[in-house]
Amino acid sequence: MKAIDVHGHIQFPDFDADRAEIVKRARDVGVKMIAVGTQAATSKKAIEIAHQFSSDVWATVGFHPNHLSKNWHHDEKEQAESKQEVFDINVLRELAKDPKVVSISECGFDFFYDKSDAGLQEKAFGEQASLARELNKPLMMHCRPSKGTDDAYKIALEILSDPKFDNLKKIMHFYAGSLDMAKKLAKLGFYFTFGGVITFARSYDEIIKYLPLDRIFAETDCPYVAPQSHRGKRNEPAYVVEVVLKIAELKGLDFEEAADELYENSVKIFNLK
């Protein structure tokens, strides 16, 4: 079996003590990974790790919407010390020149906690979408709507509907919107990633059954949201196999067949070399 964990954070300090072991554990089950940046510091670290494990890891650069607001909160899994940054697209552009960088991510809209800085989120998102277009790399988005709505998806969709983004590859990471919104996005060519949550929550079943397999990627979002077998514990790239299994099951496909198609498509869309 071969698989790509298209969205995880192997560069975070949560993995500092045993990173080499974890990459090896993934390799032993045929899993490679993309280390996703959340601001300049974690993007830079992702690139360093991608060079250190150059046959297993690729990197992205991006600025997560939760890091833009004045209510910025510090996640100790992500940073050993709390360091807020000011968003600067030129810093990201410089980092994105590295050949290991395969996507602009993670960026988007997070209205789950607070919408008061929507304007700031919109500005940062627009600039990152434009950078992805300029570099011809996929844009992998974090969109988290306020409860019971699709608001974060609607605004991303509105911005990306500009014809200048027609050729941009658009990926919704950890899709958690409605089936209707998924249909709308799929019609416009969007891709979707799903992680460990689909192994224990049933609200994703219908959406995964609806979407064509070639619009889906498997991810872990490690160290967060481990699948059923490790629920509540630290997540890691090797566990993406469990996500692939669940996708195959929901699609009524043979596991190896589904794994192959997910793998080939991940390599193609992210242009992994």
Q: Is 127 in the site for Zn ion (CB under 5 A)?
A: no
Binding part of the chain for Zn ion, among 85-93, 158-166, 214-222, 254-262 by CB under 5 A, reads: 214-222
Q: Name the residue nearer to Zn ion (CB basis): 151 or 221.
A: 221
Report in angstroms how near the CB of residue 156 gets to Zn ion at its nearest. 16
Cα separation values, 106 from 48, 199, 256, Å: 17, 23, 29
Q: Which is nearer to Zn ion, 133 or 142 (CB)?
A: 142
Query: How many residues bind Zn ion, per CB under 5 A?
Result: 1
Rounded distance, CA 53 to CA 182, Å?
A: 35
215 touches 7 (CB < 8 A):
no
Smallest gap from Cβ 243 to Zn ion, in A, equals: 14
From 5, 110, 117, 221, residue interacting with Zn ion (rule: CB under 5 A) = 221
d(CA 161, CA 177): 18
User: Minimum CB separation from Zn ion for residue 34, in Å?
Assistant: 10
Nearest CA to 61 among 162, 149, 135?
135
The answer to whether residue 78 forms part of the interface with Zn ion (CB under 5 A) is no
- Write out 211-222 in H/E/C secondary structure: CCHHHEEECCCC
With residue 191 as reference, give the H or E element that holds it.
strand 191-194
Amino acid at 250: L
Told to check if 110 binds Zn ion by CB under 5 A, we report no
Nearest residue (CB) to Zn ion, 110 versus 221: 221
Nearer to Zn ion, 221 or 242 (CB): 221
Q: Which range binds Zn ion by CB under 5 A, 77-85, 217-225, 240-248, 261-269?
A: 217-225
Residue with tokens 């969109």: 143
Using CB under 5 A as the criterion, which residues of the chain lie in contact with Zn ion when the complex forms? 221
